[in-house]
Amino acid sequence: MAASDRSIRASDADRERVAASLRDHYAAGRLNGDEFNERLDKAYAASTLGDLADLQTDLPAPEPAPLPAPAQPAGPVVPGSGRFSLEWRAAVGSWLSVSLVCFVIWLLSGAAANLWFLWPTGILGAVLLARWVSGAPAPSGGGTARRQYRRDYRRDRRGF
């Protein structure tokens, strides 16, 4: 604080700041109860910044608050790739659902001698297995343009 600053009138915020500092020093054990009360009374009665500065001349400067830990950059979420990607899991889940529905219909129809449910599930399962073994991407189900639109929209909203 420069010498000319000591004569500037203190605001209520200045007094509260010094009172908070005195409370911190009292809590740290640098001031006993009588000194704290005396200085606190003087802080609230101070009229200039110099009066407030005099109350803290024998006390160490407050330590700056610790900086928050730097946030980890949140990159875009990239779905898994390869043989066990989300797309493949969705394709296998769809195949299992269709197979289960066909099997339940077959059971309820009572045609135990005719194993017709194996045709749709077997053909679809064989196609999926062939694509998986060859390393081809999972079937998209026709919603590729819509998914790309949603990805672009979310990316634009995030700003990266």
State pLDDT tens for residues 96-114. 998 999 888 888 887 777 8
pLDDT, mean over the chain: 80
107 or 62, which is more confident? Answer: 107
What per-residue confidence (pLDDT) applies to 1? 47
Rounded mean pLDDT of 113-130?
Answer: 86
pLDDT at 136 over 80: no
36 or 69, which is more confident? Answer: 36
Q: State which of 95-99, 143-147, 153-157 shows the largest mean pLDDT.
A: 95-99
CA–CA distance, 125 with 132 (Å, rounded to integer): 10
What per-residue confidence (pLDDT) applies to 145? 59
